[in-house]
Amino acid sequence: MFDRFRRTRINPTLRNLLRETKVSVDDFIYPLFVRSGEGIKTEVASMPGVYQMSLDEVLKECSELSKLGLNSIILFGIPDVKDSIGSDSLCEHGIIANAVREIKKEYPDMFVVTDLCFCEYTDHGHCGIIDENETVNNDATLEISAQQAIIHAKAGVDMIAPSGMMDGIIVTLRETLDGAGYENLPIMSYSTKFASGYYGPFRDVAESTPSFGDRSSYQMDPANRREAIAESISDELQGADILMVKPVLAYLDIVREIKDATSLPMAVYNVSGEYAMLKMAGMNDLIDYDRVVMETMISFKRAGADIIISYHAKEVALMLKDQK
Ligand code: PBG
Ligand code: ZN
C-alpha cells in the first residue's frame, strides 16, 4: 500500500519509461587487434570471440560492425618486428598507420581511435623507453609518444588514446598536436589506469607481457582512491578531452567519484580479464551469459560512464538489435 515503486513496476512500458539507465549501441567503442598478412583471423585462446586480424579481415569486420550500428573502434597493432623503442609505431607505414589510412578510406564514417603506447611494439614489452637500470624513462618516452601521435594524426585518426600513463603525456601531446595543426583532434586519456591482473589475456593477444619487471612504476596501486581521482584531475588540467578508468568492474566506486569530481566525459575500459571471466562462465553454462553481460554494461553506465570500451560491444549490439 505504501510502496509507490511497486505500482510503477507492473506495466512493462511504464517500467521502461522510468528506467534510469539505458544501454545503447552508441555507448560503445570496440577494440580490434591488427596484424600483418592476408586472410588471417586467429582467435585468442584466452578470449574466445576476440581475434587478431590482418587488415583485409579488419575491413570486413568494419562492414559488419557498421551494419550493427557500431561505428566506433579502437585499434591495437601487433607489428612483425618489435625492438627496444617500438620503431614500427613511429613509421608512416607501420601496422597502425596503415590500418587507420585503409579503414578511413573505405569507411569514412567509422570513428577510429588509436591506442597510443609502446608495449605492443617493444621487444621488452614495457610502455616506453627503458633505462640501463631497467626502469621506464618518462621524458624520453614523452618525446617518442609525440612522434607516434603525429604518425596517427597524419594517417587520419579521429581520436588518440594515450595508455602508457607517463607523467605529462597529455600536455605534451596537446601541444604537439596543436603545433602541427591538429587542434581539433581529441585526446581520450587512460587517466586512471591501475596496475592490474585483469590485463592478462590482453597481453596474450598483443604479445606484450613485459619480459622483466612489471608496470607498477607507471600504473596505479589498486588500493589508492585519492591518487586515482588526482590522476584523472591532473589529466583534465593538462587538456584531456575524455577521462578513463581501467579496469572497471573492481573500480566502479572510482568511476563514480571521478565523474562527480569533473565535468569531462568519462570512459571505462572493460578489460580482457573481465571479458574472459564472463565468457568462460557463460561457455560452461554457469551463468545466463547475455543477461549477465547486459547487467554488467548497465552497472558501468549507472556508475557514470559515458563511453564503454568493451570486447562485448559487438555481442551487445546484436542483443540490442534482437530486442527491437
Ligand atoms: C597498452 C594497453 C593495455 C590495455 C589497453 N592498452 C595493456 C596493459 O596495460 O598491459 C589493456 C586492455 C585489456 O586488458 O583489455 N598499454
Ligand atoms: Zn602500454
For residue 191, the SS3 value is coil
Ligand 1 centroid–CA 8 distance in Å is: 43
- CATH number of the domain at 185, please: 3.20.20.70
Q: Are 289 and 281 in contact (CB under 8 A)?
A: yes
Residue 52 within any structural domain of the chain: yes
Strand partners, 73: 30, 112
Instruction: Kindly tell me if the per-residue pLDDT of 307 is higher than 80.
Output: yes
Domain total of the chain: 1
The mean pLDDT of the chain is 95
Instruction: Kindly tell me if the per-residue pLDDT of 2 is higher than 80.
Output: no
User: Mean pLDDT across the stretch 66-73?
Assistant: 98
Cell output for 262: 569533473
The pLDDT value recorded for residue 149 is 98
Residues shown for the chain: 324
Cell output for 146: 609525440
Instruction: Kindly tell me if the per-residue pLDDT of 324 is higher than 80.
Output: no
Instruction: Kindly tell me if the per-residue pLDDT of 202 is higher than 70.
Output: yes
The pLDDT value recorded for residue 302 is 98
208 against 76, higher pLDDT: 76
The pLDDT value recorded for residue 1 is 63
The pLDDT value recorded for residue 151 is 98
Q: Report percent pLDDT > 70 for the chain.
A: 99
Q: Which helix (H) or strand (E) element contains residue 111?
A: strand 111-116
The alpha carbon of 98 is separated from its chain's Cα centroid by a whole number of angstroms, namely: 20
Contacts for 286-290 with beta carbons within 8 Å, 24 or more apart? 290/315, 290/319
User: Which residue has a Cα nearest atom 8 of ligand 1?
Assistant: 199
Give the residues surrounding ligand 1 with Cβ less than 6 Å away: 115, 117, 119, 127, 163-164, 199, 202-203, 271-272
Confidence of residue 319 (pLDDT cuts 50, 70, 90): very high
Cell output for 76: 591495437
pLDDT in tens, 233-290: 999 999 999 999 999 999 999 999 999 999 999 999 999 999 999 999 999 999 999 9
Q: Which of 62-66, 102-106, 210-214 has the lowest mean pLDDT?
A: 210-214
Residue 112 within any structural domain of the chain: yes
Beta 41-44 vs 47-54: how paired, if at all?
antiparallel
Instruction: Kindly tell me if the per-residue pLDDT of 90 is higher than 90.
Output: yes
Q: Report percent pLDDT > 90 for the chain.
A: 88
The alpha carbon of 162 is separated from its chain's Cα centroid by a whole number of angstroms, namely: 10
Q: Are 67 and 109 in contact (CB under 8 A)?
A: no
Domain extent for 119: 23-214+221-323
Q: Are 201 and 46 in contact (CB under 8 A)?
A: yes
Q: Which of 123-127, 206-210, 314-318 has the lowest mean pLDDT?
A: 206-210
User: Which residue has a Cα nearest atom 11 of ligand 1?
Assistant: 199
Confidence of residue 210 (pLDDT cuts 50, 70, 90): confident
The pLDDT value recorded for residue 322 is 86
Confidence of residue 134 (pLDDT cuts 50, 70, 90): confident
User: Which residue has a Cα nearest atom 5 of ligand 1?
Assistant: 163
- Whether the pTM exceeds 0.75: the reply is yes
Nearest bound ligand to the CA of residue 219? 1
The pLDDT value recorded for residue 48 is 96
Residue 2 within any structural domain of the chain: no
Q: Name the residue of 163, 193, 204, 219 to mutate for ligand 1: max ligand atoms within 8 A of Cβ.
A: 163
Residue 249 within any structural domain of the chain: yes
Instruction: Kindly tell me if the per-residue pLDDT of 16 is higher than 70.
Output: yes
The pLDDT value recorded for residue 217 is 78
Q: Are 170 and 239 in contact (CB under 8 A)?
A: yes
Nearest bound ligand to the CA of residue 273? 1
Among residues 264, 269, 267, the alpha carbon closest in space to that of 241 is found at 264
Ligand 1 centroid–CA 202 distance in Å is: 6
Question: In 167-209, which residue ranges form alpha helices assigned H by DSSP?
Answer: 169-179, 200-205
pLDDT in tens, 22-52: 999 999 999 999 999 999 999 999 999 999 9
Residue 189 within any structural domain of the chain: yes
User: What gap in Å lies between CA 47 and CA 28, rounded to an integer?
Assistant: 19
The alpha carbon of 299 is separated from its chain's Cα centroid by a whole number of angstroms, namely: 18
The pLDDT value recorded for residue 4 is 77
Give the CA count within 13 Å in the CB-facing half-sphere of 64.
12
The pLDDT value recorded for residue 135 is 87
Q: What is the phi-psi region of residue 181: left when phi exceeds 0, alpha when psi lies from -120 to 50, beta otherwise?
A: left
User: What gap in Å lies between CA 134 and CA 127, rounded to an integer?
Assistant: 12
Fill in the amino acid letter for 242: I
Confidence of residue 323 (pLDDT cuts 50, 70, 90): confident
Q: Which of 82-96, 165-179, 183-197, 212-226 has the lowest mean pLDDT?
A: 212-226
The pLDDT value recorded for residue 3 is 79
Q: Name the residue of 74, 119, 215 to mutate for ligand 1: max ligand atoms within 8 A of Cβ.
A: 119
Residue 247 within any structural domain of the chain: yes
Nearest bound ligand to the CA of residue 86? 2
